[in-house]
């Protein structure tokens, strides 16, 4: 049978601006209990404790509030979910919250609430990295079932860019017991998301929409879907095969009762088990079985320049290598820091962090050191490829628990205590042993990729033949995806690329899923695209045709110019480029010809949904690095600085959320505007006072809570009645129609639109 969560808490509390719901667990527990009781009487099975924002970053007495909240919910006699919401901060490198501190914040919540709870609900997460921190905190501190619910926009993306498939792969990999959606959208808008989730999800699905979209009526925020309409949509969703239903903002006991009445006779249905082998970053998902290229260049074996870069901790070299491989067509990047004279664990973690700061490309973590592997897996943002495990008992005991805990696709090497078998049969036997052992750890073969091992033909003429036999059997009989380090085939031979290319083509024909190759090799990439076209794996030959168009790839050792550095999000490189340009080029020329075009390029990509928030912010940070050099140069030269047009931004009174405002601030500053940030929870009168005092003509207001939108409306009225300033607004609870209702001059759906509004206004 379908299980039912309750509905909105804030909706029922009808809070005054600035009133924090979690405080009521202690100050007015009967008010909270009455709402829980109403939902219980409506028929729901699970009551969410009033703990959503009860973390130590917001409350000094978070533990006390959580314990009281769980007991309030417990009084209903229903099952209780410890409700964990986001911290309200962005994690590094986009924000200032460290990953381990984030884990620790959530761990405190789990420890405080686990004893009275029956399950944990991590809901309204818009960033898979923060979700990972929350899920690890839950898994490491209790054994309760874990339900995960994320907030997607109307384009089917999380705040930090993940689509449904990517987010699902990460959550499943980390061990969620149910996955789905809440908040942000009404039930009608969630139907396409449910359709997408069912294609990729193997767990029960949870859906908890808002009661439609918000509107402002007589100064109050209301939602436009009544209980009967809500129930009709939820019936459609239930019939799609959903196991858990509930409501979010705007829903009431009446909504929940109508939903239960409409769906109680519909049997629950868990999606079919999916066998796709998925590797992800924070925003991109790669299916290994589609045939992929793994870039081999960030591996010191045989690479003098990379070895030197590792010894010198030269991250710019590593980043350039990653960027050029990605631009050349690599779908995944191998990252190996195995150099004896360096601290492998430190450099692997640093490289993973830095590469993920500038690239959305998934990574293959390549290490024989289990400690280094765990450290890198822990901070990895997404579902990594884990290279590697082999048939040795010790190795399997070290690596499989890590793969189970952190999620990932494990590369399985066909060798054991006796070395590498010379025959295909010997390697297949080891592959079968690894596959069976993985199953004992709860790891399905879809999360394994077998490396049959490439041995050079210069030492045995049958080495290629035996490897290809093993690849064929593993892929086509055992049904497990395969990977090979292709270039090993030609060691000791002249004109190696010719042998490599021919072997690569043969291997793909035998069933090779992923080749670890040099994507900057034209002949290897030609072989890849040609084979996919010939094998019927490239619809309309689109990939082949695209590959035939020359791609500008930065040559090894070549410098990246300032515009490229900003687009790629390379902070140190941007500062260096700006410093060098200042020796020969005017400051204003650098800004107009390099910095602003780079920001426009990234901004256009963001608006077209081809680039996402992390890239936008990292590019903004890189532009700031360049601006800092320009400012320093201006100060040294004695030239007077010219400030841009002034803009006030503020989160309105009663609202303590400022993620969106801070993103807007960074972008506006990088476009040269003089931003006066009044902070969060800003009184209407203060906004007006500052606008008059500083003669500001454009004001940006943010709100994330429905209860604070009336203060936004009040602030707009004060500004319009007493100044000629114009106002743009934004925030999760707003829509374009809603903004019009409260008389805002513009609605900014995201940070880039704020920039466009400012440019249009001042032009």
Given this model, what pLDDT does residue 18 score? 67
Would the CA dihedral through 580, 581, 586, 589 be positive or negative?
Answer: negative
For residue 456, the model assigns a pLDDT of 97
In which band, very low, low, confident or very high, does the pLDDT at 558 lie, cut at 50, 70 and 90? low
The predicted-structure confidence for 519-552, as pLDDT tens digits, reads as follows 999 999 999 999 999 999 999 999 999 888 765 5
Residue 72 has which token pair? 């309030």
pLDDT at 555 over 70: no
Distance CA 360, CA 611 (A): 9
Question: Quick check: helix, strand or coil at residue 357?
Answer: helix
Lowest-confidence region among 10-19, 240-249, 730-739: 10-19
Residue 446 DSSP class: G
* Residues found in the chain: 763
Band the pLDDT of 556: cuts 50, 70, 90. Answer: low
The conformation of residue 125, written as its DSSP 8-state character, comes to E
Domains of the chain plus CATH, in order, are: 12-203 (3.20.20.330), 278-523 (3.20.20.20), 562-637 (1.10.1240.10), 646-762 (3.40.50.280)
44 is in an annotated binding site: no
pLDDT averaged over every residue in the chain = 94
Mean pLDDT of the 647-654 span: 94
Is 102 annotated in some ligand binding site? no
Quick check: 618 and 93 in contact, CB under 8 A? yes
Quick: pLDDT tens for 174-190.
Answer: 999 999 999 999 999 99
Which position has the higher pLDDT, 706 or 586?
Answer: 586
End-to-end CA distance of the chain: 60
The residue among 670, 665, 682, 692 whose CA lies nearest residue 624 is 670
Cβ neighbours around 199 below 10 Å, total: 12
For residue range 63-79, what is the model confidence (pLDDT) as tens digits? 999 999 999 999 999 99
* Chain centre to alpha carbon of residue 15: 32
**Does 412 count as an annotated binding residue?**
no
Name every residue whose Cβ is closer than 8 Å to that of residue 653 and which is 6 or more positions away in sequence.
17, 18, 681, 682, 683, 684, 708, 711, 715
pLDDT for 645 equals 94
Task: Give residue 220's pLDDT band: very low, low, confident or very high (50, 70, 90).
Answer: confident
Q: What is the pLDDT of residues 97-111, one digit of tens each?
A: 999 999 999 999 999
| Residue 193: Cβ-neighbour burial (10 angstroms; 0-12, 13-18, 19+) | buried
Q: Model confidence over 323-365: pLDDT tens digits?
A: 999 999 999 999 999 999 999 999 999 999 999 999 999 999 9
**368-414: pLDDT as tens digits:** 999 999 999 999 999 999 999 999 999 999 999 999 999 999 999 99
Backbone angles phi, psi at 365, to 5 degrees: -85, 120
Q: How far apart are CA 622 and CA 220, in angstroms?
A: 42
């Amino acid at each position: 049978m379908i299980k039912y969560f309750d509905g909105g808490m804030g909706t029922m509390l009808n809070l005054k601006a600035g009133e924090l719901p979690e405080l009521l667990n202690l100050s007015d527990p009967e008010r909270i209990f009455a709402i829980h009781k109403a939902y219980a009487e409506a028929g729901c099975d699970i009551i969410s404790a009033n703990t959503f924002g009860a973390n130590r970053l917001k409350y000094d007495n978070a533990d006390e509030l959580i314990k009281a909240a769980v007991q309030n919910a417990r009084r209903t006699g229903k099952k209780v979910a410890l409700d964990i919401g986001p911290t309200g901060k962005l994690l590094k490198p986009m924000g200032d919250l460290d990953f381990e501190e984030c884990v620790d914040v959530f761990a405190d919540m789990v420890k405080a609430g686990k004893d009275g709870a029956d399950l944990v609900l991590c809901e309204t997460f818009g960033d898979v990295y923060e979700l990972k921190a929350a899920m690890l905190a839950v898994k490491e501190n209790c054994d309760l079932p874990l339900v995960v619910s994320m907030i997607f926009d109307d384009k089917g993306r999380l705040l930090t860019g993940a689509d449904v498939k990517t987010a699902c792969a990460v959550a499943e990999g980390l061990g969620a017991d149910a996955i789905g959606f809440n908040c942000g959208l009404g039930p009608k808008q969630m139907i396409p998301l449910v359709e997408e989730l069912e294609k990729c999800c193997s767990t029960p699905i949870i859906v908890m929409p808002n009661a439609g979209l918000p509107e402002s009526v007589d100064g109050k925020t209301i939602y436009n879907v009544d209980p009967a309409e809500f129930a009709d949509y939820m019936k459609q969703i239930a019939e799609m095969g959903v196991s858990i239903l509930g409501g979010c903002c705007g829903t009431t006991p009446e909504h929940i009762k109508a939903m239960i009445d409409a769906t109680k006779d519909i049997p629950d249905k868990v999606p079919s088990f999916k066998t796709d082998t998925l590797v992800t970053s924070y925003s991109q998902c790669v299916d290994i079985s589609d045939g992929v290229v793994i870039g081999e260049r960030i591996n010191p074996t045989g690479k003098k320049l990379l070895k030197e870069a590792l010894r010198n901790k030269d991250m710019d070299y590593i980043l350039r290598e990653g960027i050029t491989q990605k631009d050349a067509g690599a779908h995944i990047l191998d990252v190996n820091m195995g150099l004896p004279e360096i601290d492998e664990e430190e450099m692997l973690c640093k490289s993973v962090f830095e590469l993920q700061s500038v690239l959305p490309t998934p990574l293959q973590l390549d290490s024989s050191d289990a400690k280094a592997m765990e450290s890198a897996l822990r901070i990895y943002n997404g579902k990594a490829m884990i290279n590697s495990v082999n048939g040795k008992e010790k190795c399997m005991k070290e690596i499989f628990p890590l793969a189970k805990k952190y999620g990932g696709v494990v590369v399985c090497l066909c060798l054991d205590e006796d070395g590498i078998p010379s025959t295909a049969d010997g390697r297949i036997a080891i592959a079968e042993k690894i596959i069976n052992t993985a199953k004992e750890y709860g790891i399905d073969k879809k999360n394994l990729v077998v490396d049959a091992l490439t041995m050079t033909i210069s030492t045995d003429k049958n080495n290629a033949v035996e490897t290809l036999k093993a690849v064929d059997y593993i892929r086509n009989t055992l049904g497990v995806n395969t990977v090979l380090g292709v270039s090993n085939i030609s060691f000791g031979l002249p004109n190696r690329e010719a042998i490599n290319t021919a072997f690569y083509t043969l291997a793909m024909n035998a069933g090779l899923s992923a080749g670890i190759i040099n994507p900057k090799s034209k002949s290897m990439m030609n072989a890849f695209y040609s084979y996919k076209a010939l094998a019927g794996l490239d619809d309309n030959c689109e990939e082949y045709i695209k590959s035939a168009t020359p791609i500008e790839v930065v040559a090894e050792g070549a410098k990246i110019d300032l515009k490229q550095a900003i687009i790629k999000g390379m902070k140190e490189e941007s500062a260096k480029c700006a410093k060098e340009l200042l020796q020969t080029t005017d400051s204003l020329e650098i800004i107009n010809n390099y910095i602003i075009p780079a920001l426009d390029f990234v901004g256009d990509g963001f608006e077209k949904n081809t680039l996402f928030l992390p890239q936008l912010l990292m590019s903004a940070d890189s532009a700031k690095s360049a601006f800092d050099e320009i400012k320093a140069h201006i100060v040294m030269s004695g030239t007077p600085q010219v400030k841009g047009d002034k803009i006030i931004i503020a989160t309105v009174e009663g609202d303590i959320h400022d993620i969106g405002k801070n993103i807007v601030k960074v972008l506006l500053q990088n476009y040269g505007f003089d931003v006066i940030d009044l902070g969060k929870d800003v009184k209407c009168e203060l906004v007006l006072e500052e606008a008059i005092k500083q003669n500001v003509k454009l004001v940006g207001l943010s709100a994330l809570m429905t209860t604070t939108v009336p203060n936004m409306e009040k602030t707009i009225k004060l500004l319009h009645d007493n100044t000629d300033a114009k106002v743009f607004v934004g925030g999760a609870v707003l829509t374009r129609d809603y903004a019009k209702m409260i008389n805002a001059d513009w609605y900014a759906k995201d940070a880039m639109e704020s920039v466009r509004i400012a440019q249009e206004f001042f032009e």
